[in-house]
Structure 1
Amino acid sequence: MSESCTGVRLRPTMLSDLDFVLTVEQDPACRPYITPWERTQHEGAVRFPDFRHFIVEAGAGTQAVGFVILQGCRSRHRSIELKRMVVMTQGRGLGRACLRQLKQMAFRDLHAHRFWLDVKTHNVRAKALYDSEGFVEEGRLRECVRNEEGSEPVYDSLIVMSLLEAEYAVRRQAGQEAA
């Protein structure tokens, strides 16, 4: 289990947690910003060693407030993707604390050269967080994700962002990252 000074903890997801994960993905507040998976996809991510699937806990107890998925953890290219980060409680710095732990895990523990993600263009809040945490926009994938929430399908565009090992090291030297 990983914990930061803000009280955010990451613990490995167990199969018994998947009902919670699926409920979070179906939450109307989260759904516009993610592309939900089926249970079998989450089961695979929990079991397959190339993934790290975590429950995000916060507060005095073990209250689950979200989940995260890393992919490419065994990539010979040392390019790890933040596949999904969903934190239900907003405005308390939990997402930032979680992201900082994930960066530390990616670079220190998993020896990433590149830590990357994509974010839907309309997810302005998440994009601002990634910008402020050192991620650099690499490009846009135009209308690449089909969203079937309404009566007519809509295609969402994605912004691809990354943070490189050398950039992370500079941030650490500047005191912007935990040592």
Structure 2
Amino acid sequence: MNKCELPKSQSHPFIAQIISLSACKANTFLVSEQASEIPPFLAPLAANLVALRAKGNWSISALAEQARVNRRMIRLVEQGQVNASLKTIDKLARALGVTAGSLVGNRPLARQEGDALIEEVVARNLVSARKGLKLTQEKLSQQSGVNMPAIADIERQARNPSLLTLAKLAASLGLSLEALLTDYRS
């Protein structure tokens, strides 16, 4: 798979792939003006959040209170209309009892006792993948379009990145967003 190809969603076939390869290479990840579809990096999150909320019989208000996330934010995430932060996704995942990585992936998985903090997981996976490809922060910055200070901050857990930022980094490293957010040590 070319680093800018995004996998077709197996669990959400109704969602069109709307990021063109040229947009990916330019690291723009923009939704086409004609498209009203959910961006592919947000689609699994939106679908999983709706499904988990329905399965648990959670109202938006109850989930908002439990997760300490604004109700409007939850509605926008469910509609795929907001580029939420890592902390917001982690709060929602914790409230729903699933891992943050699986919440943005194909199938939500139950959270385990003693799971690492999501910031640690992302930092560890980012550094490991970057070094595995023998990339400097500068080279990763050039490939992903994410500025080098932001990459450094994420790697030392000093920044709350958006999912778009993480999707750009993951694509440049040949990873899925789910893989970047998954703790493989447990």
TM over 0.5: no
Higher relative contact order (CA 8 A, sep 6+): 2
- Normalising to structure 1: TM-score of the pair? 0.32
- Normalising to structure 2: TM-score of the pair? 0.32
Q: Where is the helix percentage greater, Structure 1 or Structure 2?
A: 2
